[in-house]
Amino acid sequence: MKEAEKEEWKFTGLDDRLRGRDFLSLHDFTRAEIWYLLNLAKELKAGQKAGNPYPVLAGKSLGMIFTKASTRTRVSFEVGMYQLGGQALFLSAADIQLGRGEPIKDMARVLSRYLDGIMIRTFAHSDVVELARYASIPVINGLTDLLHPCQVLADLLTVIEHKGQTDGLQLTYIGDGNNMAHELMLGGAKAGMRVVICTPDAYRPDPEIVRLAMADARENGGTITLLSDPQRAATGADVLYTDVWASMGQEGEAAVRAKAFQGFQLNRELVGLARPEAIILHCLPAHRDEEITAEVLESPQAVVFDEAENRLHVQKAIMAAVM
Ligand code: CP
Ligand code: NVA
């Protein structure tokens, strides 16, 4: 490559501070590092829209391991890698030896000889930690039963785009104390938000994640509050968030959960208790008229497609920064 061309490929925000790092949870990153990624994402988004792509991963390959279904994660990582000049390989667990029992620690070391990064979506978070431990290349968490950091980074970008900032805003999540609730606590804490998690008592978030998030919140000027009264939780919210009541892998519990979550539907009444200019987020896919009414999901306050789009931009930032 000629020197002049190299110059064109530079974009102002990128440096080596996160090179080689795994992206398993926002808890592992300082607030400054999260802001670095968000600023990169903004720059990449603006560049892409202006017809100035940044092929900084030319010649690099990302392996994408999926043991669960996906629309957004699969397509946005694959397209994101393509836009950055690299290539992505879709590795369904049904087709690779992992599905036939090859140990994660062996797969990690083999894939590290071929690839420049691995994105994985799977059930047990401990499997992703093990993959990261044995891989010599960066591992990106594309969702586990415990956490979903790429989604929450996209959520923070969406909040900043619509609200101008995150500090001091009340983010109320109503629903299951699941991977989304966990990562929203961790990411919201780093972003200085007042995070309210409202669940039925039997579906509270993991106490260890709550403990970590509370410590992160104390350091960054945020708060974490656990409630079981949706009306109280929704009152005064700047951001309202919900997610499915039965996550991937919990399909067999769907009927029991549908009963347990009665009263936790994000509907017009709860939205009416939030601030008038509140935005509504949902990681998608949504089940209309279960956790959120069709009316609320289709209302102008719901910015869920901006949110889905931002998966692409933040993941490009993560890949450009760590790979
Ligand atoms: N929100 C999200 O992760 O969507 P997918 O399951 O479609 O990837
Ligand atoms: N909690 C949901 C999120 C999907 C993006 C699940 O794990 O299925």
pLDDT for 99 equals 86
> Mean pLDDT of all residues in the chain?
96
Same domain, yes or no: 58 and 96:
yes
pLDDT tens digits, one per residue of 8-30: 445 678 999 999 999 999 999 99
Number of Cβ within 10 Å of residue 91's Cβ equals 21
d(CA 113, CA 61): 11
| Average pLDDT of the segment spanning 179-198 | 98
Q: The CATH number of the domain where 142 resides is what?
A: 3.40.50.1370
Tokens representing residue 27 in the block: 């808890």
pLDDT tens digits, one per residue of 217-232: 999 999 999 999 999 9
pLDDT tens digits, one per residue of 45-55: 999 999 988 99
Same domain, yes or no: 40 and 131:
yes
pLDDT tens digits, one per residue of 241-286: 999 999 999 999 999 999 999 999 999 999 999 999 999 999 999 9
**Portion of the chain with pLDDT greater than 90, in percent:** 93
What is the 3-state composition of the chain as percent helix, strand, coil, each rounded to the nearest 5?
Answer: 50, 15, 35
pLDDT for 9 equals 47
Same domain, yes or no: 123 and 160:
no
Same domain, yes or no: 86 and 160:
no
pLDDT for 2 equals 47
d(CA 52, CA 295): 38
Same domain, yes or no: 135 and 173:
no
243 is catalytic: yes
198 is catalytic: no
Question: How many separate domains does the chain show?
Answer: 2
CA 76 to centroid of ligand 1, rounded, Å: 10
Which atom number of ligand 2 is nearest to the Cα of residue 178?
1
Same domain, yes or no: 66 and 113:
yes
Which atom number of ligand 1 is nearest to the Cα of residue 71?
7
pLDDT for 7 equals 45
| Model pTM score | 0.96
Ligand closest to the CA atom of residue 203: 2
pLDDT tens digits, one per residue of 123-164: 999 999 999 999 999 999 999 999 999 999 999 999 999 999
Same domain, yes or no: 24 and 132:
yes
> What's the length of the chain?
323
Of 292, 323, 319, which Cα lies nearest the Cα of 83? 319
The DSSP secondary structure of 116-153, one letter per residue, reads: SEEEEE-S-HHHHHHHHHH-SS-EEE---SS--HHHHH
| Average pLDDT of the segment spanning 205-209 | 98
Same domain, yes or no: 296 and 169:
yes
pLDDT tens digits, one per residue of 87-108: 999 999 999 998 889 999 999 9
Ligand closest to the CA atom of residue 183: 2
Same domain, yes or no: 58 and 130:
yes
The residues, any chain, with a CB within 8 Å of residue 86's CB and separated by 6 or more, are 57, 58, 59, 60, 61, 62, 116, 319, 323
151 is catalytic: yes
pLDDT band at 4; cut points 50, 70, 90: very low
d(CA 181, CA 189): 12
Same domain, yes or no: 66 and 132:
yes
Number of Cβ within 10 Å of residue 205's Cβ equals 22
Kindly report the protein residue whose alpha carbon is nearest to atom 8 of ligand 2: 247
Same domain, yes or no: 60 and 167:
no
pLDDT for 162 equals 98
pLDDT tens digits, one per residue of 302-318: 999 999 999 999 999 99
Core vs surface per residue 41-63: b (16+ CB within 10 A) or e: bbbbbebbeeeeebebbeebbbb
Q: Which residues line ligand 2 (CB under 6 A)?
A: 143, 178-180, 243-244, 247-248, 283
Mutation test residue for ligand 2: of 176, 283, 291, 292, the one with most atoms within 8 Å of CB: 283
pLDDT for 285 equals 98
Q: Which domain holds residue 256?
A: 151-307
Same domain, yes or no: 294 and 159:
yes
